[in-house]
């Protein structure tokens, strides 16, 4: 059965253009470096996306990476859905047979797999990587981000689930069931005191103090960057907020560099922050 995923819209194209621009820059800039270059797509999908309204077919991230002009030495695709993973193998065999030996496809949960891959210190002594985290919602665990950062060798593009986080932060107080989920997402518990204040309308005869949410879009985006900065040496201060057709923010596309050497991250910063994110995509 042919597998095509349905999701997204204009924001999907915007996200993939950003990724594609960064891959072109990365492969060009590191062409003559002696370390191995790895592309990791941890939510690899099925290779093809049809927008929800069915109007557009979009080339998925794995194809963008495989068809870039300069090549990575290794491509690691992780996909939890077995049928999508099988479709990825079919695409590689049929369309990218010359790269077949360089591609690894794992039908697995990416958090576990990333922790395993990132823990292989020998690999990171002699390799650098670009990693794309493209979840539907809150699937990325903080422990996986910590493992990525510890490699000191990965440039990360993380599609943070902004609207999912907003939905789990209701106006009138924290929902018990979502507290742990948010702790896992932010890797911290401080969001609760940052985002919720005592209700000034609080009635002295009420038994319990009421808390209300006080955080706007900009403050939430800044908090997400702040959390990433707590583990990554460099995080772009201008992540791209991606909106749906109704102009509601859906995702925050963040860029972080695990390499603590300023020489390494200054170049990545210049391209990602000053060009790709600031001026729009370079195409």
138 binds ligand SAM (CB under 6 A): no
**Smallest distance from the beta carbon of 109 to ligand SAM, in angstroms?**
4
Per CB under 6 A, the segment of 68-76, 134-142, 183-191, 267-275 that binds ligand SAM is 134-142
Task: Yes or no: say if 69 and 27 are a contact pair by the CB < 8 Å rule.
Answer: yes
Task: Say how far apart CA 122 and CA 187 lie, in whole Å.
Answer: 27
**Smallest distance from the beta carbon of 26 to ligand SAM, in angstroms?**
17
Q: For the chain, how long is the longest CA-to-CA vector?
A: 74
Residue from 9, 14, 18, 60 touching ligand SAM (CB under 6 A): that is: 60
81 binds ligand SAM (CB under 6 A): yes
Task: Say how far apart CA 227 and CA 215 lie, in whole Å.
Answer: 16
Q: Which runs of consecutive H residues, i.e. helices, occur in the chain? A: 10-29, 61-67, 82-95, 110-118, 121-126, 142-150, 162-167, 176-186, 191-195, 217-229, 262-269
Residue from 24, 56, 109, 192 touching ligand SAM (CB under 6 A): that is: 109
Task: Say how far apart CA 137 and CA 73 lie, in whole Å.
Answer: 30
Question: Quick one: 17 or 81, whose CB is closer to ligand SAM?
Answer: 81
Tokens of 125: 């002594």
Task: Say how far apart CA 191 and CA 202 lie, in whole Å.
Answer: 22
87 binds ligand SAM (CB under 6 A): no
**Smallest distance from the beta carbon of 143 to ligand SAM, in angstroms?**
13
Residue from 116, 136, 219, 237 touching ligand SAM (CB under 6 A): that is: 136
Which helix or strand (DSSP H or E) is residue 253 part of?
A: strand 249-257
Residue from 18, 38, 91, 110 touching ligand SAM (CB under 6 A): that is: 110
Residue from 103, 139, 182, 186 touching ligand SAM (CB under 6 A): that is: 139
What letter would DSSP give residue 242? E
Residue from 80, 179, 213, 269 touching ligand SAM (CB under 6 A): that is: 80
Binding interface with ligand SAM (CB under 6 A): 5, 7, 43, 45, 49, 60-61, 78-81, 84, 109-110, 134-136, 139
């Amino acid at each position: 059965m042919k597998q095509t995923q349905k999701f997204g819209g204009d924001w999907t194209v915007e996200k993939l253009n950003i990724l594609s621009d960064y891959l072109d820059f990365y492969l060009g800039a590191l062409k003559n470096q002696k370390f191995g270059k790895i592309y990791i797509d941890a939510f690899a999908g099925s290779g093809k996306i049809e927008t929800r309204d069915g109007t557009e077919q979009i080339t998925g991230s794995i194809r963008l990476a495989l068809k870039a002009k300069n090549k990575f030495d290794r491509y690691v695709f992780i996909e939890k859905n077995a049928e999508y993973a099988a479709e990825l193998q079919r695409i590689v065999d049929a369309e990218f047979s010359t790269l077949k030996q360089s591609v690894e496809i794992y039908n697995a949960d990416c958090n576990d797999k990333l922790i395993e891959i990132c823990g292989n210190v020998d690999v990171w002594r002699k390799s650098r990587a670009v990693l794309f985290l493209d979840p539907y919602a809150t699937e990325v665990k903080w422990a996986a981000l910590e493992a990525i950062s510890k490699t000191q060798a990965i440039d990360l593009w993380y599609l943070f689930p902004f609207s999912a986080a907003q939905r789990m932060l209701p106006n009138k107080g924290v929902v018990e069931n979502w507290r742990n989920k948010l702790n896992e997402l932010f890797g911290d518990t401080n969001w609760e005191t940052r985002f919720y204040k005592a209700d000034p309308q609080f009635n002295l005869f009420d038994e319990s103090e009421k808390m209300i949410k006080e955080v706007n879009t900009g403050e939430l985006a800044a908090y997400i960057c702040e959390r990433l900065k707590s583990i990554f040496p460099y995080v772009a201060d201008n992540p791209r907020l991606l909106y749906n057709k109704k102009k509601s923010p859906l995702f925050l596309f963040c860029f972080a560099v695990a390499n603590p050497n300023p020489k390494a991250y200054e170049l990545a910063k210049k391209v990602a922050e000053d060009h790709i994110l600031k001026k729009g995509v370079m195409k």
